[in-house]
Amino acid sequence: MTKEEMMIAFAQRKKEWIGMNRKYNTATPTIVPRRTQRHRVFFPDETYNLLMSELAQLDKEREEKIRSYSQRINPLAEQRRALIDIIDEDAEIQQNEHLAAIEEEKRLRLELIDKTKEYLSNRLTFMIRQRELIEEREFYRTETVCLQEDISALLNQNKTTAPQRKQQYNEQLLLHLEHLRLMTSAIEEKTRDMLFWHEKKTVPMWKKKIRSVDARVKQWKKKEKEIRRRWKNDRVGLDTEAKRIQRRIQQLIMRDGKISESESDDNDDDQTYSNPTLLIERL
């Protein structure tokens, strides 16, 4: 109750008391000069004691209502603090998981780049070596053709030579041709083996590694989407619970009514208890 309300109540009681005195002629009110009458109000002791007792009773009722309201609002405040802590923890966990997923994706991408560089380097080396072997094979083929032409020329020139010499030359040339054929076949076999090893082992291995890296990246992205969806659903549920608690607080305030103060210094406390948000923050 503010001072203005108390003054209005005192004036009303004064009018009632003056009316009773006029009716029963039991007492006469004190006459106050007109210039001070608006600032001073005098009552008999019984009326003053009655008003003070009623004021004390109102103070007791106010304190009891404040105490009961605080007891009812404390669990709600604790629940709100718990919900805020849960929201903060979930946000921190989601942020940490998001950062970890980003770091893992960066690491996997760098690893993929390194493996790709290594694969391209090995492939370039293999292609250079293959080119050298092909050139060497072409060179031996050209030499074989030249030797065959030389043999034909020698055979044409030495038709009149002895059969033994001709046979020796033929054997030497055949041995040389066989040697060149064996070298060419060995080079071709080695090239075939390198191609087979590269196609059957190296290429599938790198393809498998690249697919595994892509699968891990997709798994991290899927996990990140799941974490975002779960965090969004949890946040929506917590907001719904907070709104329900807010409606419950408003119902309690409407049921209990407004709590008044006896002095102007307590107006801030009245506003705090009438506003559930300020009350929860103060608790």
Domain ranges of the chain: 91-282
Q: What share of the chain in percent tops pLDDT 90?
A: 5
Helix (H, G, I), strand (E, B) or coil at 28: coil
Structural contact between residues 196 and 126, judged by C-beta atoms closer than 8 angstroms: no
Give the span between the Cα atoms of 214 and 227, in whole angstroms: 20
* Residues 179-207, mean pLDDT to the nearest whole number: 79
- Both tokens of residue 83? 């919900």
pLDDT for residue 27 is more than 80: no
CATH entry, 91-282, from 1.10.1060, 2.60.40, 1.10.287, 1.10.540 = 1.10.287
Is the predicted pLDDT of residue 162 greater than 80, yes or no? no
CB atoms within 10 A of CB 273: 23
CB 154 within 8 A of CB 169: yes
Q: Is the pLDDT of residue 174 over 50?
A: yes
The residue behind tokens 């950062």 is 99
Asked whether 78 and 250 are in contact (CB, 8 A), the reply is: no
What's the mean pLDDT when you consider all of the chain?
A: 75
- Name the DSSP class of 29: P
Predicted TM-score (pTM) of this structure: 0.29
Choose from 18-22, 37-41, 149-153 the range with maximum mean pLDDT: 149-153
Cα separation, 86 vs 72, whole angstroms: 22
Torsion region of 264: left, alpha or beta (phi above 0 gives left; psi -120 to 50 gives alpha)? alpha
In this prediction, residue 239 has a pLDDT band, given cuts at 50, 70 and 90, of confident
Scanning the structure block, which residue is given the tokens 């009110």?
29
| Of 186 and 164, the one with more pLDDT | 186
**pLDDT confidence bin for 251, thresholds 50/70/90:** confident
- Give the residue carrying structure tokens 């072997």: 133
Structure tokens at 45: 């002791």
pLDDT band at residue 221 under the 50/70/90 scheme: confident
Distance of alpha carbon 98 from alpha carbon 102, whole angstroms: 6
Asked whether residue 195 carries a pLDDT value surpassing 50, the answer given is yes
Are 66 and 273 within 8 A, CB to CB? yes
